[in-house]
Amino acid sequence: MTADLKPIDLDILGTLLNSNGQPVQLDFFLQEFRATQKSVDHSLERLIRHGCVIERDMHTIRLIQAGLGVWKDYLQHTLPKQSRRSVEVYQTTASTQDRVKAQANQSVVIFADEQTAGRGRLGRQWLAPKGVGLLFSMTHKLPRDRPDSIDRVSFLTAVALAQAIERITGHGPVQIRWPNDIYVNQRKLAGILVETVQPRGAANATAVIGIGINVGLTRDHLAEMPAELRSRVTSFAMLGWPIDRLHIAEKVIAQIDRNLHSPDVSSLVDEWRSRNLHREQTLKLKSNGQTISGTVIDLDPDHGLIVRRDTGEIVHLPAATTSVLDS
Ligand code: BTN
């Protein structure tokens, strides 16, 4: 923990984050944490010194934004044990994906406020103006006896994102555009990039899971972005969900780890089915350079999307090499 942040500061921050921008009564803190007004004031001062923006009047306290300076301590304090990794937070980096790859032999999650070379699937760019995206990459060590495919990790992560966003916002269902785009109201809210690396000297490979979530993106930001994104992208802000990036990070990471370690993959396939944006749709897909037209039937957790081609043939299309072509 940073030398001068105390556990009570992080507990107070947790309560403020959970209230999603609503004011919390000072009395609540006094009772809940058996604190004095003076100690609450000191906690707020320390949080503000670490970049938090907090509004305070006689009786209430409201978090406007959690500063980057508290992210590391807060996540290390709050995440459940199986999600505990070393946490790094950067103002700017080329791509969190590359930073994690460089230390994929450790258990780590790396955040950036801004990326100068953020990338998406299939060599695409990932654009997010500074300060408005929740951008991070994390390691997931693939079990040696069952080296999970990119397909399995992608679908478990996509379901986790949808579940966590539904839980935080009360909105549902959040949809999954196979393999790993998260959609709300027919627009993309988040994307997932899964890559694998073989750390030097390690017996098993590690998946590097990269997540980009549009949180504070506004129409003004979109006006500065490429025209083709404008009608396709949404954000927490545009959807009227005033939720802090740190709160989303906490809930999303915990849910990803729950799903990745769940022994019940078939019930998570059910969770995917109920959120599948392409249910029984006829689609055009590009797989290994070939254009395929067919109807989406189901998901094979380890071998991708199951599609009935117009020719009648059933094919399994892996996430790593397939993309859905826009109709
Ligand atoms: C996609 O939609 O194609 C996937 C987008 C993944 C973007 C995230 S942002 C954090 C991490 N770092 C990157 O360079 N990419 C991923």
If asked whether residues 139 and 214 sit together in one domain, one would say yes
Can you give 303-325 as a three-state secondary structure string? CEEEEEECCCCEEEECHHHEEEE
Q: Does residue 1 belong to any structural domain of this protein?
A: no
The domain that contains 288 carries what CATH number? 2.30.30.100
Give the pairing of strands 86-93 and 108-115. Answer: parallel
Calculate how far, in angstroms, residue 137's C-alpha sits from the geometric centre of ligand 1. 8
If asked whether residues 116 and 252 sit together in one domain, one would say yes
CA distances from 135 to 90, 95, 118, 141 (A): 10, 9, 9, 20
Question: Which domain, by its residues, includes 140?
Answer: 79-275
- Closest residue by CA, ligand 1 atom 7: 212
The domain that contains 14 carries what CATH number? 1.10.10
Taking the CB of residue 151, how many other CB atoms lie within 10 A of it? 24
pLDDT of residue 278: 92
- Residue 223 is encoded by which pair of tokens? 């006006």
Specify the number of domains making up the chain.
3
The domain that contains 247 carries what CATH number? 3.30.930.10
pLDDT of residue 232: 93
- Ligand 1 contacts CB of residue 193 (under 6 A): yes
CB 96 within 8 A of CB 135: yes
pLDDT of residue 122: 82
Mutate to test the pocket of ligand 1, among 119, 188, 228, 229 (most ligand atoms within 8 A of CB): 119
Give the pLDDT of the chain (327 residues) as one tens digit per residue.
555 899 999 999 999 999 999 999 999 999 999 999 999 999 999 999 999 999 999 999 999 999 999 999 999 999 998 888 999 999 999 999 999 999 999 999 999 999 999 999 888 899 999 999 999 999 999 877 665 688 899 999 999 999 999 999 999 899 999 999 999 999 999 999 999 999 888 888 999 999 999 999 999 999 888 888 888 999 999 999 999 999 999 999 999 999 999 999 999 999 999 999 998 889 999 998 899 999 999 999 999 999 999 999 999 999 888 989 975
If asked whether residues 50 and 160 sit together in one domain, one would say no
Calculate how far, in angstroms, residue 301's C-alpha sits from the geometric centre of ligand 1. 21
Q: Does residue 2 belong to any structural domain of this protein?
A: no
Q: Does residue 71 belong to any structural domain of this protein?
A: no
